[in-house]
Chains A and B, each alone.
Chain A
Amino acid sequence: MSISTEFFDCIVVGAGHAGCEAVLAAARMGVHTLLITIKLDKIGHMSCNPSVGGLAKSHLVFEVDALGGEIGFNTDKTGTQFRMLNTSKGAAVWSLRAQVDRIAYREEIRKTIEKESNFIVKEEIVEKVLVEKKKVFGIATAEGMEYRAKAVILATGTFLNGLIHIGLDHFPAGRIDEPPATGLSKILSKLGFVLGRLKTGTSARVSGKSIDFSELKAQFGDEHPEHFSIKTENFNPEQSPCYLTSTNEKTHKIILKNLDRSPLFRGIIKGKGPKYCPSIEDKVVRFRERKSHPVFLEPDGRKTDIFYLNGLSTSLPEDVQQELLRTIKGLENVKIVRPGYGIEYDFVYPSQLFPTLETKNIDGLYLAGQINGTSGYEEAAAQGIMTGINAVLKIRGEQPFVLLRNEAYIGVLIDDLITKEITEPYRMFTSLAEFRLLLRQDNADTRLLKYGYRFGLVEKKQLERIEKRDNEVKNRIETLKKTIVAPEDINEILKKKNSSEISEARPLFQILKRPEIAIDNIEKITGNIETEVAKRVEIYAKYDGYIQKQEQEVRRMKELENTSLPLEIDYTKLRGLSKEATEKLNEIKPLTLGQASRISGVRPSDISLLMIHLKRLKGSGLHI
Chain B
Amino acid sequence: MKVPKIVTDDNTIAAISTPPGIGGIAVIRISGKGSLKIAECIFKGKSSPLSVETHRVLYGRIIEPQTEEEIDEVLLTVMHAPKTYTGEDTVEISCHGGMVPAQRILEVCLKTGARTAERGEFTKRAFLNGRLDLTQAEAVLDIVAAKTKEGLHSALYQLDGFLSKKIKRLKDSLVSLQAEIELSLDFSDEDITFPKAKELAKKIRYTLNIIGKLIKEGKRASIIREGLSATIIGKPNVGKSSLFNALLLEERAIVTPIPGTTRDVIEGWINVNGFPLKLYDTCGFQDSENIVEAIGIEKTKEAVENTSFVLFVVDGSIPLETEDKRIFNSIKENPLIIVINKIDLPKRVQISDITNGVSFPSCKVSAKELTGIEKLNKEILKLIGASDIKIDRAVPTRTRHIVLLSKVEESLLNALNGIEEKRTPELIAFDVKEAAGSLGEIIGEVTPKEVLDKIFEEFCIGK
Interface residues of A, Cβ cutoff 8 Å to B: 54-56, 85-86, 88-90, 92-93, 97, 274-278, 283, 286-287, 290, 293-296, 310-311, 313, 420, 429-432, 434, 436-437, 514-516, 542-543, 546, 549-550, 552, 556, 575-578, 600, 603-606, 608-609, 611-613, 615-616, 619-620
The answer to whether A55 and B118 touch across the interface, beta carbons within 8 angstroms, is: no
Q: Which residue of A lies closest to B450 (CB)?
A: A600
In the complex, are the beta carbons of B188 and A55 less than 8 A apart?
yes
**Size class of the B contact interface (CB-based, 8 Å):** 35 or more
Show 12 residue pairs from A and B whose CB-CB distance is below 8 angstroms, ordered by the A residue: A90-B425, A93-B186, A275-B462, A283-B462, A287-B460, A429-B182, A430-B185, A514-B421, A543-B427, A578-B151, A606-B148, A615-B127
| Among all A-B residue pairs, the 10 with the closest Cβ atoms | A576-B145, A90-B424, A311-B463, A275-B456, A431-B182, A287-B460, A294-B191, A277-B462, A429-B186, A605-B148
**For residue B133, which residue of chain A has the nearest CB?**
A619
Interface centre among B137, B148, B433 (most CB of A within 10 A): B148
* A432-B448, A434-B448, A546-B427 as given contacts; A578 in contact with B148, CB under 8 Å: yes
Q: Are B448 and A609 in contact (CB under 8 A)?
A: no
CB-contact partner of A578 in B152, B424, B433, under 8 A: B152
Q: Given the known inter-chain contacts A55-B189, A89-B425, A576-B148, please indicate yes or no for A552 contacting B184, CB distance below 8 A.
A: no
Additional 8 contacts, C-beta under 8 A, given A85-B188, A576-B144: A93-B185, A97-B189, A276-B456, A310-B463, A311-B462, A429-B448, A577-B148, A612-B140
Q: Tell me whether B185 and A86 are in contact (CB under 8 A).
A: yes
Interface residues of B in 404-460 (CB under 8 A from A): 421-427, 429-430, 433-434, 444, 447-449, 451-453, 456, 460
- Whether B141 and A576, one on each chain, are in contact in the complex, defined by CB atoms closer than 8 angstroms, is yes
The answer, among B118, B184, B421, B460, for a CB contact under 8 Å with A608, is B118
Contact yes or no, B151 A515, CB < 8 A: no
Q: List chain A residues, Cβ under 8 A from B184.
A: 89
Q: How far is the CA of A502 from the CA of B444 in the complex (A)?
A: 44
For window 114-161 of chain B, which residues contact chain A by CB distance below 8 Å?
118, 120-121, 124, 127-128, 130, 134, 137, 140-142, 144-145, 147-149, 151-152, 154
| B:311-329 near A, CB below 8 Å | none
**Does B258 interact with chain A (Cβ within 8 Å)?**
no
| Residue B249, interface by CB 8 Å | no
Name A613's closest neighbour in chain B (CB-CB): B141
Complex contact B462–A576 (CB within 8 A): no
Shortest distance between the CB of A491 and any CB in chain B (Å):
18
Q: How many angstroms between the C-alpha atoms of A620 and B135 in the bound complex?
A: 11
Residue of B nearest to A289 (CB): B460
Q: In whole Å, how far is A544's beta carbon from the nearest beta carbon of chain B?
A: 11
In the complex, what residues of B have CB within 8 A of residue A93's CB?
185-186, 426
In the complex, the answer to whether A575 meets B448 with C-beta atoms within 8 Å is: no
B295 at the interface (CB under 8 A from A): no
Instruction: Check if B383 is an interface residue, CB within 8 A of chain A.
Output: no
Given A293-B191, A612-B137, A515 and B448 touching (CB < 8 A)?
no
Measured between beta carbons, the chain B residues less than 8 angstroms from A577 are 148
Closest to A559 in B: B11
B384 on interface, CB distance cutoff 8 Å: no
| Cα separation A616 to B124 with both chains bound (whole Å) | 12
Smallest Cβ-Cβ distance to B182: which chain A residue: A431
Residues of A within 8 A of B145 (CB): 575-576, 609
Instruction: Return chain B residues, CB-CB under 8 Å to A612.
Output: 124, 127-128, 137, 140-141, 144
Bound Cα distance A420, B448 (Å) = 11
Cross-chain contact of A431 among B140, B444, B448 (Cβ < 8 A): B448
Q: Please state if B124 and A608 are interface contacts (CB–CB under 8 Å).
A: yes
Chain A hits for B461, CB < 8 A: 275-278
Interface positions, chain B 1-58, Cβ under 8 Å from A, are 8, 10
A55 to B462, CA, bound (A): 12
Cβ contacts under 8 Å, B433 to chain A: 434
Rounded to whole Å, the gap between the CB of A421 and the closest CB of chain B is 9
Partner of A276, one of B127, B141, B148, B462: B462
A290 touches B137 (CB 8 A): no
When distances are taken between beta carbons in the complex, the residues of chain A under 8 Å from B447 are: 600
Q: How far is the CB of A277 from chain B (nearest CB, A)?
A: 4
B148 and A296 form a contact (CB under 8 A): no
B134 and A620: CB pair below 8 A? yes
Chain B residues at the A interface, C-beta cutoff of 8 Å: 8, 10, 118, 120-121, 124, 127-128, 130, 134, 137, 140-142, 144-145, 147-149, 151-152, 154, 182, 184-189, 191, 421-427, 429-430, 433-434, 444, 447-449, 451-453, 456, 460-463
A56 closest partner in B (C-beta)? B186
Tell whether A290 pairs with B144 under 8 Å between CB atoms, given A86-B188, A603-B154.
no
- Chain A residue at minimal CB-CB distance from B123: A612
- Residues of A with C-beta under 8 A to B424: 88-90, 515, 542
Q: Contact: A576 with B124, CB < 8 Å?
A: no
Q: Residue among A311, A431, A515, A616 with the most chain B CB within 10 A?
A: A431
Point out the residues of chain B lying under 8 angstroms from A542, CB to CB.
Answer: 424
Complex CA distance for A296 and B127, rounded to whole angstroms: 62
B residues less than 8 Å from A55 (CB atoms): 185-189
CB-defined contacts of A600 to chain B, threshold 8 Å: 447
Cα A619 to Cα B186 with chains together (Å):
47
A217 to B127, CA, bound (A): 69
A603 contacts B148, C-beta separation under 8 Å: yes
The CA of A304 and the CA of B431, in the complex, are separated in Å by 48
Q: Which residues of A contact B152 (CB under 8 A)?
A: 578
Q: How far is the CB of B455 from chain A (nearest CB, A)?
A: 9
Minimum C-beta distance from A350 to chain B (A): 15
The answer to whether A90 touches B144, judged by C-beta atoms less than 8 angstroms apart, is: no
- Chain B, Cβ-Cβ closest to A90: B424
* Known A296-B463, A605-B118; contact A516-B151, beta-carbon cutoff 8 A: no
Residues of A within 8 A of B148 (CB): 576-578, 603, 605-606, 609
- Contact between B185 and A431, CB atoms less than 8 A apart: yes
Contacts A276-B462, A612-B127 known; A619 to B134 CB distance under 8 Å?
yes
Q: For A97, what are the chain B residues with a Cβ–Cβ distance below 8 Å?
A: 189
B130 contacts which chain A residues (CB < 8 A)? 619
B426 touches A89 (CB 8 A): yes
- Name the contact of A515 in the complex, choosing from B191, B421, B430, B453 (C-beta under 8 A): B421
Q: Which residues of B contact A436 (CB under 8 A)?
A: 426, 430
Residues of A within 8 A of B121 (CB): 608
Q: Return the contact of A611 from the options B10, B128, B448 (Cβ within 8 A).
A: B128
Q: Roughly how many angstroms separate A615 CA and B463 CA in the complex, as a whole number?
A: 51
Residues of A contacting B429 in the complex (Cβ-Cβ under 8 angstroms) = 431
Chain B residues within 8 Å of A620, by CB: 134
Contacts of B460 in A (CB 8 A): 283, 286-287, 290, 293
B259 to chain A: closest CB distance in Å?
38
Which residue from chain B places its CB closest to the CB of A309 in the assembled complex? B463
User: In whole Å, how far is A400's beta carbon from the nearest beta carbon of chain B?
Assistant: 26
Contacts of B186 in A (CB 8 A): 55-56, 93, 429-431
Q: How far is the CB of B138 from chain A (nearest CB, A)?
A: 9
Please name all residues of chain B whose beta carbon is closer than 8 Å to the beta carbon of A437 when the two chains form the complex: 426-427, 430
For B422, what are the chain A residues with a Cβ–Cβ distance below 8 Å? 515-516
Question: Closest approach, in angstroms, between the C-beta of B186 and any C-beta of chain A?
Answer: 5
Interface centre among B141, B151, B182 (most CB of A within 10 A): B141
A86 to B434, CA, bound (A): 23
A152 to B216, CA, bound (A): 62
Say which residue of A278, A431, A603 sits within 8 Å of B462 (CB atoms). A278
CA distance A616 to B456 in the complex (A): 45
Q: Which residues of B contact A54 (CB under 8 A)?
A: 189
Give the complex CA separation of A118 and B401 in angstroms. Answer: 61
The chain B residue with its CB closest to the CB of A545 is B427
Complex: A47 Cα to B223 Cα, angstroms? 65
Residue numbers in B under 8 Å from A615 (CB-CB): 127-128, 137
Least Cβ–Cβ distance between B125 and chain A, in angstroms: 10
| Residues in B neighbouring A311, C-beta threshold 8 A | 462-463
Shortest C-beta distance, A422 to chain B (Å), equals 11
B137 neighbours in A (Cβ, 8 Å): 612, 615-616
Q: How far is the CA of A603 from the CA of B130 in the complex (A)?
A: 24
User: Taking CB as reference atom, which chain B residue is nearest A431?
Assistant: B182
**A89-B185 CB under 8 A given contacts A515-B421, A515-B423, A605-B151:** yes
